Homo-oligomer: A and B are copies of this chain.
Amino acid sequence: MAVVVTGIPRVPSAVVEAFRQIGVATIHEASGRRGLLASYMRPIYRPVHAAGTAVTCQVAPGDNWMIHVAVEQCRTGDILVVAPTSPCDDGYFGDLLATSLMARGVRGLVIDAGVRDVAALTEAGFPVWSRSICAQGTVKATLCDVNRPVVCAGMLVRPGDLIVADDDGVVVVERTQAESVLEKARQREANETEKRRRFESGELGLDIYDMREQLRQKGLRYVDAHSEE
Contact = CB atoms under 8 A, between A and B. Distances in A.
Contacts of A86: 36, 62, 88-90, 134, 136
Given A25-B117, A71-B205, A155-B151, A139 B136 contact: no
Contact of A168 (B6, B9, B118, B221): B118
A133 B171 CA distance: 14
28 contacts: A2-B221, A4-B220, A5-B225, A6-B225, A23-B117, A25-B91, A28-B135, A28-B136, A29-B137, A36-B135, A36-B136, A39-B132, A39-B134, A46-B119, A47-B122, A60-B139, A69-B211, A71-B206, A85-B136, A86-B136, A99-B200, A103-B202, A122-B167, A135-B169, A135-B171, A140-B211, A154-B154, A156-B156
